[in-house]
Amino acid sequence: MSEGKTESEGKDNIVLCGANSYNKKYYLNPGFANLPEQIRRELKIMCVTFTEDAGGILTMVFTPDGKLHFDVRCAPGDGNFDEIACEMKISEFQNNREELLNELELFFKVVFLGYKV
């Protein structure tokens, strides 16, 4: 699981999900539709509460080596984006949802990268 906020620009990254505070939308990559409903719900709650608390755009992405990162962006000049809330929310996710995040990385490595368990 990634430490802190990143802005992974790699074109080989695979988006898991994300939320956008500007257009009030949530996105789950259809390639992950086979995740259990409870996990899909938790991801939606995480992304939407993040953007409600901090603003901006949150995208959860997997890097080519299977690490899960939080990409955070905001519109230029967005005075409502809260950098402190952003850092706190990511830290909260990493601490309180560590098991879920680790399981998502394992799922990605096995299903998408073909790792053997």
pLDDT digits (tens, 9 = 90+) for 21-60: 999 999 999 999 999 999 999 999 999 999 999 999 999 9
**Range(s) of the domain holding residue 100:** 5-109
Predicted confidence at residue 25, as pLDDT, reads 97
Assigned domain for 114 exists: no
Count other C-beta atoms under 10 Å from residue 23's C-beta: 7
Q: Is residue 45 part of a domain?
A: yes
Q: What is the pLDDT of residue 10?
A: 59
Q: Is residue 10, in this structure, part of any structural domain at all? A: yes
Q: What is the overall mean pLDDT for the chain?
A: 91
Residue 117 domain flag = no
Number of domains, the chain: 1
Q: Is residue 116 part of a domain?
A: no
Structural domain includes residue 71: yes
Residue 9 is predicted with a pLDDT of 53
Q: DSSP E strands: which ranges in the chain?
A: 5-6, 14-20, 25-28, 57-62, 68-73
**85 domain-assigned:** yes
Q: What is the pLDDT of residue 5?
A: 42
User: 3-state class of 79 per DSSP?
Assistant: coil
